[in-house]
Amino acid sequence: MNEQKQHIKIYGDGSMPGGKFDKVSIMGHGCVEGDLTGKQCKIFGKGELEGKAVLERLCVFGTASIHGLLIANVLEVFGNLDVMEKMTGDRGRITGWLTVKGNVEMEELSVKGGLKVEGLLNAGIFNLRLQHNTSRIREIGAEKITVQRKRLKLFKPHDHLEAEVIEGDRIFLEYTTAKIVRGNKITLGPHCEIELVEYNHTFEKVGRGPCRVADVRKISIND
């Protein structure tokens, strides 16, 4: 049998060794004991990958923990995903919570819920719809950055993003606290607290609610 063509399934409470597989499905509580390489991994329930994961597609419906590096061309999470090292890929869609100990590199990342990234988040497009407590990202770099809070949130009015540096071409922020926001076109909505804004083309404040900026500087491309 060609090992790369296997479809491995874990039902209930079980484990399997790492390796190269076509597809892996975990339904219940499953553990992969080692590195995993394959086309697709689907987790329904709780999954634990004790090594690195290199996949074309990772889908999580529940909770997943990856102890090493995660490389996934397509990432879909409906629940919680913890990555202990770096995370890279093409497209990611998170509905729930994402935690990454290292850096994140994605072409497009959309999060509806919240996230914590201890390193740099680098993306072409980054969209964050705040829904769960406080999100924290050390540094964000992207061409287009959008941070908004879910409307009509009655019971958790203080959901927001905390970051040291946010840098991009087009930036729209709400409910964000940051030391530096730097970009070409910057728009700040309500409940932002920014120490320094550096913009090249346009800067404006929109919406209702407080928005405090300690210092604003217009910079040129050569600066």
- pLDDT tens readout for residues 99-135: 999 999 999 999 999 999 999 999 999 999 998 789 9
Q: Is the pLDDT assigned to residue 157 strictly greater than 70?
A: no
pLDDT confidence of residue 3:
47
- Provide mean pLDDT across the span 78-98: 97
pLDDT confidence of residue 51:
95
- pLDDT tens readout for residues 11-52: 999 999 999 999 999 999 999 999 999 999 999 999 999 999
- Provide mean pLDDT across the span 72-80: 98
Q: Where do the domains of the chain lie? A: 1-85, 87-223
- CB environment 10-46: b (16+ within 10 A), e (fewer): beeeeebebbebebbbbbebbbbeebbbbbbbbbbbb
- The 3-state DSSP composition of the chain as helix, strand, coil percent (nearest 5) reads 0, 80, 20
| Residue whose structure tokens are 């419906």 | 61
Confidence of residue 209 (pLDDT cuts 50, 70, 90): confident
pLDDT confidence of residue 158:
65
- Provide mean pLDDT across the span 193-220: 93
pLDDT confidence of residue 136:
97
pLDDT confidence of residue 4:
53
Confidence of residue 221 (pLDDT cuts 50, 70, 90): low
